Amino acid sequence: MVDGATFVTGENHLVTVVLDSERQEQAKGLLVAYGGDVDA
């Protein structure tokens, strides 16, 4: 299992954020807030 979150923005930019496990869930929430589709 990879620690990180991948999402595509409304502008179709693929962004990968590598995080430690403690911050992973928090980051997913932020990505959703930015309107991205989370695939992690």
Output 32 or 10, whichever has higher pLDDT: 32
Arithmetic mean of pLDDT over the chain? 59
Using the Cα atoms of residue 22, residue 23, residue 29 and residue 31 in order, give the sign of their dihedral: negative
Quote the pLDDT of residue 1.
40
- pTM of the complete model: 0.26
Cβ atoms 38, 28 nearer than 8 A: yes
